[in-house]
Structure 1
Amino acid sequence: MLSSWVWSSMRLGLSKSLSRNVGGRVSGERRKVDIAGIYPPLTTPFTATAEVDYGKLEENLHKLSTFPFRGFVVQGSTGEFPFLTSRERLEVVSRVRQAMPKDKLLIVGSGCESTQATVEMTLSMAQVGADAALVVTPCYYRGRMDSAAFIHHYTKIADLSPIPVILYSVPANTALDLPVDAVVTLSQHPNIVGIKDSGGDVTRIGLIVHRTRGQDFQVLAGSAGFLMASYAFGAVGGVCALANVLGAQVCQLERLCLTGQWEDAQKLQHRLIEPNTAVTRRFGIPGLKKTMDWLGYYGGPCRAPLQELSASDEEALRSDFTNNGWL
């Protein structure tokens, strides 16, 4: 865990960062980031007593670093971030930053329900090494989360963030989409560089690409199940949970799309749809972690209230991988 001294230093750094704001923006030059590429959203390993297992985290990271990923996403939905304390979230990012290859990009989930808390978390994530902040839509008061609320929320965060901001729409978890008109407005902010869209609606992805042309704004598919279609519509990459277990295959699909080998890309995409659905919508993180155990990584338990798979679910999960030739 982060020591009290380190935590106090982060809080002090946060206060100093906020005090340096000029005209509502953090002073100093921000670095533009090209986010094109494939990213596995790292899982958070836990011990049998539900403590974060930092050793297993680093072991998984070293194995995943052998694939041609653009970088890693830490503390996204796959990382069980709602179940971690603020200190754990920062410690996980710090450990990954120290262990990962220096030429890889580190995108870090910093979203919280309130704008103020998200600003504070984003600043703290930047201090422990994040290259960009992935900010999920707040959703608890979803009935009031309209375009105006989202534009205000993300503009404030981007104004104050010392690192680039990536919008994150994941309706399967939040029960709401970030409206396209809000995305288009936010794409004009100089410190908002893209969106990870996990909804699976490729026509929406195409519309976002179309309506943000001319802006320095990039779209990432939020799942391997619609990666090929997203590339065809103009996306530049993907954050794919499946890449935690089939990293070589997801990167191969990227290469086939980028080189225009669409027939081969289609064949590979077809073989990835069922296993991808299994480790996302069907069995979720428990399914992904079980598959990691099968394929040479450490999956281990989830943190409660997530539970392990039943025997019948485990059998169905294995079938989705064996039927497509991956186990």
Structure 2
Amino acid sequence: MEYQRALSSSISRKSLDISGIYPPICTPYNHDESITFDKLEYNMKKWNQIPFKGYVVQGSNAEWCFQSWDERVQVVRETARLAAPGRVIMAGSGCESTRDTIRMCKDMSEAGAHALLVVNPFYFKDNMTSDALVAHFTAVADHSPLPIVMYNVPRNTGVDIPVDAVVKLAQHHNIIGIKDSGGDITRIASIVFATASSDFQVLAGSAGFLLAAYNVGCVGGICALANVLGEETCRLADLAQSNDLKAAMDLQLRLVGPNSCVTKRFGVPGLKTSMEWFGYYGGPPRSPLQSLSDNQVQAIKSEFQKSFFL
């Protein structure tokens, strides 16, 4: 923990390199839906053996929207304590109001984070114009003690942060990047191109388009599939930056089916189910999410088998 705090204190805004692969880690629950920190430690010991750049804590796969304020902060604190030395802790800090987001950023900083992943407000989505989002992220970045990584996940929020807003916000000294989970490679390429002079880092939000994202200038990925196939996701990142295009393409194609199962097809319950097959603790989701039916479990297993991971 002291090492992690020292890393935080040495970070001066845009100097933080966030390139690489991050699993957006799941929150392990007991069957009574309480958080089981011993299982978090169990999973972290295994993840610490994989060459991740760091961990995203309280991203979408953590089910943060079902947690209390204190739970969100406590999971970050424990993950920072358990992480291998040198791993970047990126903490999900988005809230619906600007003032709560600022307060959460400060609490996550004290819990041991090094960077903050901030999803856009979305409840009043029709009012989340480019101007409103620029005002929100600017205020958050102005007051945050740590660098901000914006989080664009339109499938969950119903809001696609406009490219013009991203480009404007990329000029802020305390906004260092964006995780884009939309899967629109043209949009991602446009952001990379338009922010090239702003020392701005773009991360792919899924292993399903990781190779394409690297090919248009992304520096890494925050990938749900890395919870399960961490070595393989890191391997794809390495291949994407090598001259072995065929090996990169072959691995990318094998990852597409399993990735789809643990993201848009079956979501967090699918991810947690598949974790169990690879020696991790997945456990149940927190309600209202429901565990999968036997038929759904078999559908996921079939995709992993077809891709030769099981």
TM-score interval w.r.t. the shorter chain? over 0.9
In structure 1, distance between residues paired with 2:280 and 2:56: 17
Q: Aligned partners of 1:245, 1:111: CA distance in 2, in Å?
A: 25
Distance 1:317 1:30 in 2: 41
Pair 29,267 (structure 1): closer, same or farther in 2 beyond 3 Å: closer
Structure 1 equivalent of residue 152 of structure 2: 169
Q: Could you tell me which residue of structure 1 aligns to residue 37 of structure 2? A: 54
Is the aligned partner of 1:139 residue 2:138? Answer: no
1:167 counterpart letter in structure 2: M
Partner of 1:193: 176
Taking the aligned partners of 2:214 and 2:107, their CA distance within structure 1 comes to 33
> Number of aligned pairs?
300
Paired position in structure 1 for 2:236: 253
How much has 1:32 moved relative to structure 2?
Answer: 2.6
Secondary structure of the residue aligned to 1:168 is: strand
Equivalent residue for 2:96? 113
Structure number with greater Rg is 1
Amino acid at match of 1:120: R
Q: How does 1:13-162 map to 2 (within 5 A)?
A: 30=13, 32-162=15-145
Q: Which residue in 2 is equivalent to 1:265?
A: 248
Which residue does the alignment assign to 2:308? Answer: 325
- Cα separation, 1, equivalents of 2:196 and 2:287: 43
Cα distance in structure 1, aligned partners of 2:12 and 2:190: 31
The counterpart of 2:197, out of the listed 208, 214, 217, is 214
Q: 1:227 aligns with which of 183, 201, 210?
A: 210
Partners of 1:74 and 1:41 lie apart in 2 by 6
Structure 1 CA distance for aligned equivalents of residues 244 and 65 of structure 2: 39
Query: How many angstroms apart in 1 are the aligned matches of 2:251 and 2:57?
Result: 27
- CA–CA distance in structure 1, aligned partners of residues 114 and 102 of structure 2: 15
The answer to whether the 8 Å contact 2:220/2:237 transfers is: yes
CA contact (8 A) 1:32 1:164 kept: no
Unaligned runs of 5+ in 1: 1-27
Q: CA deviation at 1:132?
A: 0.3
Shift of 1:31: 6.8
Equivalent residues of 2:14, 2:176 under 8 A apart? no
Asked whether the equivalents of residues 28 and 35 of structure 2 are also in contact (C-alpha less than 8 Å), the reply is yes
Structure 1 distance, partners of 2:245, 2:54, is 25
**SS of equivalent to 1:163:** coil
Paired amino acid for 1:142: K
**One-letter code aligned to 2:172:** H
TM-score between both structures, scaled by the size of structure 2: 0.95
**Within 2, Cα distance between the matches of 1:172 and 1:56?**
29
Offset of 1:260 from its aligned partner? 2.6
Secondary structure, counterpart of 1:46 in structure 2: coil
By how many angstroms is 1:288 displaced?
0.3
Matched, 1:179 2:147: no
Q: How does 1:301-320 map to 2 (within 5 A)?
A: 301-320=284-303
Deviations 1:219-274 (A, max 9, x none): 00000000000000000000000001100100000010111321110000000001
